[in-house]
Amino acid sequence: MKRAGMHFPPLRGLAPLLAGLATWQFLSSGPAPNFPPPAAWWRTVAQLASNGQLAPAVMETLWTFALGLALAASFGFVAGLAIGTVRAVRRWSALLLEYFRALPPPVIVPVAVLMLGYAPSMKVFVIVFASVWPVLLNVVSSVSRVGGGLVDMGRSLRLTRGEVLFKLLIPAVVPGLLLGIRVATPLAMVITLLIEMLTAMPGLGGLLIAGQRNFNSAQVFGMLVVVGLLGLAVNLLVNVAEAIVLRRWPPRGLAPE
Amino acid sequence: MNDRGLVQGAGGLAAFLLLWEAVVRSGSATFDYLPAPSAILAALGRLAAGGAFWGEIGHTLLATLLGWAIAVLIGVVAGLALGLSPWLRRYSLASIEALRPLPGVAFAPVGLLAFGFSLQMELAVIVLPTLWPVLVNTMGGISALSPRLGEVARSFRLGRFEATMKVYAPAAAASVLVGLRLSMSLAVVMAVIAEMVGNPQGLGYAVVREQQALRPAEMFGYVFVIGLIGILMNWALMAFARRALPGEFGRPLAMDAGVR
Amino acid sequence: MSAVFDLAAVALRLPVGGGVREILSDVHLSLAEGEVYTIVGASGSGKTSLLRVMGGLTRASAGSIRFRGVPIDAPPAGVAFVFQDYAGALLQWRTVARNVALGVERSLAKPERGLRVAEALRLVGLEAHAGDFPWQLSGGMQQRVQLARALAIRPSVLLMDEPFAALDAMTKAGLQDELLRLRDQTGASIVFITHDIEEAVYLGDRVAVLKGPPGTIAHTFTIDLPRTREQIATRESPAFLRLRHQVHDAIRGRA
């Protein structure tokens, strides 16, 4: 049974992508202001790396993203447990949570900027506020799905409330938590980049938008690739972490449920 | 959600709004720009009376629907092809997995460079990220089909195209619909992003405009409308699905069990 | 007398795991017009594979399979399958009538198609449910829909893979009699796979015992019971009990 994330499809599947890039490179013999060839992207990115702009931007984006995601995961986990275990709270908050879930996360950015100003704390707050929902809702759903039976079992075994929570409930909810984190990860990345692009705060998003404002399309495409690779790396990391944590759980099907 | 659940949910919502109103009125709020729900309602009233508001809604809806439709077309066709052909899958899956994590927001500068401030720029931002859920879910739906259906098609000597249209595609419909719903909410998000970062039209731009003009009540009003649109589009999609394939979607399904 | 189906020295080998597994070996079979030919065997003996090979869903590795004298390598016209898992075999999103029409949509124009579908539904007694969806019907009724779908193409052979195994005893009995009646009315030949010895003897004009792996026909019994079968009377008759005993021994003896 395949473990989630531990496999990448056969590498020969990269053929279309590589072929596309090669064709692009080949066709761009003359000047094409808006669609520069891949070689130009590489040159620009190398330039940014050598004049010390790339590394700090990557670190800034990565750090803000990681912090925001970690906080969202923790908060979502605790709040999800709390809401999930008390049936009354779950019912009363259901509609409210549904609305917040449906709210497009980017919309929160201007609101936060207005209310919190241009501080790094604003950046983290927005990421947390936008990314907490998949985690929270998955945990709530997990608890409501398995909680009842486990609590009853705990009572029949005469376990204390704390034991029920730590020995039964939390382990049972971990797969749901990790699924929520998996969904929240790309979301947090998008929001981080979005904030940087909207507010010109330091980070990869800033470099992207700077490229556009300077009509430096090679920079724009080059940064696009950097962002893509970063996203790929982060996804891989999350998958590996999940596989390690879930070693002891029964294997999931291939599609998240 | 049953009736009692609905009442309780509505009650919770109302309690939240009342608490919010009270906190702002009493002046104990620490934020300068947090308006009371009543102020937001008033602002919405003013906006609705003016003409520009409806034009903005229309623009975002147009961009969303158009981008979604294009993504769905590409995604379903590609998903069907990939789902049915293991050879195609072997030679393209890795490329798809490499492109998928690209955050849609990163395409906004590209779109701006290529198309300037325009609807096309929005579409450039919307289409690519939106097409993945459709493609992945369609492909997954086809791959997960019971081999029995294939045998039924063959035993009745149906041609490839006939079998795809009559048997495989409808059988995968439930999965495809999940992809359609995911991509619909994604399309709304991407349209808003495109309008916030690029094309100065529509609801996304309106939110940023109100924020920069320091008009919090109007800004929250627009935020509320955007959330509403997402919910309405999803509901419309489900209603359409039930009409189109009553056999598959007419019966009670645990369709809303998924959490995103 | 020309046989409807003629299998000679048929073998089937399939790649399994790292190597090759022999599923069928040296199968000889001859199916006559209008006969009910039942195949019994233990699980894993290759019954389903034999049916699939006959129906052209799986290609044989060796030997010849002829349908009306013509070698086959794909599902031939005039042969219809009925599978055990009716829920998976029916198109759940189509009404009963449209399900039954699946095999004739391409070849018949609308008016003719409607008549053919109505005729098939009448044969299985489901005219009243033409507009229902399969998931609204019971298991037995869904299996009858599958039967109607098969009958709509006016097949000369019905290949049935343990079609009644998932149904309760009473529904099963009713469908067994209905199948015999359909055979009398349409003249189709039926190849019927089952693991239920009593069902095999009750339904069959001949019963083949498949032993394996690799599957091969160990014995063929000719059922000399009266043509008209009756659930209680036939099953209590000495001849039936004797045949049942013999088939049972054939399956059990000499592993």
> E strands of C85-205, at which residues?
157-161, 189-194
Q: What is the ipTM of this complex?
A: 0.86
A103–B193 C-beta distance less than 8 A: no
Instruction: Name chain C contacts of B151, Cβ cutoff 8 Å.
Output: 57, 81, 83, 89
Instruction: Name chain B contacts of A115, Cβ cutoff 8 Å.
Output: 31-34, 216
Locate the chain B residue with the closest alpha carbon to A12: B91
C91–B166 C-beta distance less than 8 A: yes
User: Residue B111: pLDDT above 60?
Assistant: yes
Phi/psi at A256 (nearest 5 deg)?
A: -65, 140
Residues 132-151 of B with CB under 8 A from C: 146, 148-149, 151
What pLDDT does A5 receive?
A: 45
Question: Contact partners of C by the rule of 3+ C-beta pairs under 8 A?
Answer: B
- Domain residue limits, chain B: 34-250
Could you give the dihedral angle defined by the CA atoms of residues B219, B223, B226 and B232, in that order, rounded to the nearest 10 degrees? -130
- Domain residue limits, chain A: 55-248
Mean pLDDT for C195-206 is: 94
Which candidate from B5, B231, B260 shows the least CB-CB separation from A134? B260
Whether chain C has a CB inside 8 Å of the CB on B235: the answer is no
Cα C44 to Cα A136, C22, C27, C89, distances in angstroms: 48, 11, 16, 22
Instruction: Name chain B contacts of A208, Cβ cutoff 8 Å.
Output: 106, 109
Question: Contact partners of B by the rule of 3+ C-beta pairs under 8 A?
Answer: A, C
Say which residue, B67 or A199, is predicted with more confidence. B67
pLDDT tier, B115 (very low <50, low <70, confident <90, very high otherwise): confident
Q: Can you read off the two tokens belonging to residue B95?
A: 């490329």
Helix, strand or coil, per DSSP, at residue C207: strand
User: Residue A1: pLDDT above 70?
Assistant: no
| Distance linking the first and last C-alpha atoms of chain C | 34
Whether chain B has a CB inside 8 Å of the CB on C59: the answer is no
Instruction: Name chain B contacts of A13, Cβ cutoff 8 Å.
Output: 89-97
- How far apart CA B249 and CA B107 sit, in angstroms, is 35
Instruction: Name chain C contacts of B242, Cβ cutoff 8 Å.
Output: none
pLDDT digits (tens, 9 = 90+) for B130-184: 999 999 899 888 888 888 999 999 999 999 899 988 998 888 888 888 889 889 9
Strand (E) or helix (H) holding B70: helix B52-84
B95–A13 C-beta distance less than 8 A: yes
Tell me which CATH code domain A55-248 carries: 1.10.3720.10
Instruction: Name chain B contacts of A57, Cβ cutoff 8 Å.
Output: none
C95–B155 C-beta distance less than 8 A: no
Give me chain A's average pLDDT, please.
82
What pLDDT does B28 receive?
A: 65
A212–B113 C-beta distance less than 8 A: yes
pLDDT tier, A112 (very low <50, low <70, confident <90, very high otherwise): confident
Q: How far is CA B147 from the centre of its chain?
A: 32
What pLDDT does A252 receive?
A: 55
Q: Which range, of A42-56, A58-72, B54-68, averages the lowest pLDDT?
A: A42-56
Task: Select, from the ranges A54-58, A139-143, A249-253, C242-246, the one with the highest average predicted confidence (pLDDT).
Answer: C242-246
- How far apart CA B5 and CA B10 sit, in angstroms, is 8
| Percent of chain A whose pLDDT exceeds 70 | 91
What pLDDT does B31 receive?
A: 67
pLDDT tier, C90 (very low <50, low <70, confident <90, very high otherwise): very high
- How far apart CA B52 and CA B49 sit, in angstroms, is 9
B146–C88 C-beta distance less than 8 A: yes
> Which one, of B71, B214, B192, B33, lies nearest residue A130 by Cα?
B192
What pLDDT does A2 receive?
A: 42
pLDDT tier, B76 (very low <50, low <70, confident <90, very high otherwise): very high
What pLDDT does B37 receive?
A: 86
- Domains in chain C, ordered, with CATH? 5-78+156-252 (3.40.50.300), 88-154 (no CATH)
Say which residue, B129 or B251, is predicted with more confidence. B129
pLDDT tier, B30 (very low <50, low <70, confident <90, very high otherwise): low
Which candidate from B1, B13, B109 shows the least CB-CB separation from A220? B109
Strand (E) or helix (H) holding C119: helix C110-124
Beta pairing class for C206-211 and C189-194: unpaired
Q: Who's near A10: CB < 8 A, 6+ residues apart? A: B90, B93, B94
What pLDDT does A26 receive?
A: 77
Instruction: Name chain C contacts of B247, Cβ cutoff 8 Å.
Output: 92-95, 133
Topology of the domain covering B34-250:
MetI-like fold (1.10.3720)
User: Residue B255: pLDDT above 60?
Assistant: no
pLDDT digits (tens, 9 = 90+) for C14-70: 988 788 899 999 999 999 999 999 999 888 888 999 999 999 999 999 999 999 989
Q: Who's near C226: CB < 8 A, 6+ residues apart? A: C234
pLDDT digits (tens, 9 = 90+) for C101-127: 999 998 889 999 999 999 999 999 999
